[in-house]
Amino acid sequence: MSNQHESQLSHLNETGEAQMVDVSSKKVTRRQAVARGQIRMKRETFEAIKTGNSPKGDVLGTAKIAGIMAAKQTANLIPLCHPLPLQKIEVNIIGDETLPGYQIEATVITKAETGVEMEALTAVSIAALTLYDMAKALEKSIKIENIRLMSKTGGKSADYQSRI
């Protein structure tokens, strides 16, 4: 890795060691991030979840709660993330007949010195993993796909909007 590139990575100190970024001089602002992902499965599995015929019960409700809980635990899961006061966490899981499967979207909002992109991405990831866990008795070949940041607002850096 070149020195020029290292200087752009905020989680590395001047000797290249991992560090938590000092955000103490940053301004507290409202910050929001939206992440999405999807989970693809066989039509029979999709129908069983949709109609509530899964052996483990409320698959979608459990996955939604897991995503919300995961967002609140992001700093415990990802070593250099700051613990943040989260004002809103919303996880939506929507059936998609064309996959077949489910689209998962998480929106996270805070008023803090740093953003909530990792919290939104964690919420989507854990909701998808929970959905897999709840449905694996029906199908082991379920695919978790395309987890990505869709948008972020707030803070010093420019707002971001995904083009895909």
Q: Are 112 and 129 in contact (CB under 8 A)?
A: no
Instruction: List Cα–Cα distances, 73 to 5, 137, 143, 144, in angstroms.
Output: 30, 27, 24, 21
17 is in an annotated binding site: no
Is position 58 annotated as part of the catalytic site? no
69 is in an annotated binding site: no
Phi, psi of 111 (to 5 degrees): -120, 105
Mapped onto helix, strand or coil, the DSSP state of residue 69 is helix
80 is in an annotated binding site: yes
Which of 22, 58, 96, 133 is flagged as catalytic?
133
Q: Are 106 and 124 in contact (CB under 8 A)?
A: yes
Q: Which residues of 118-133 are buried (b: 16+ CB within 10 A; e: fewer)?
A: bbbbbbbbbbbbbbbe
Residue with tokens 């979840």, as numbered in its chain: 49
81 is in an annotated binding site: yes
Could you tell me which residues are annotated as the binding site? 80-82, 118-119
The residues assigned a catalytic role are 133
Could you tell me which residues are annotated as the binding site for substrate? 80-82, 118-119
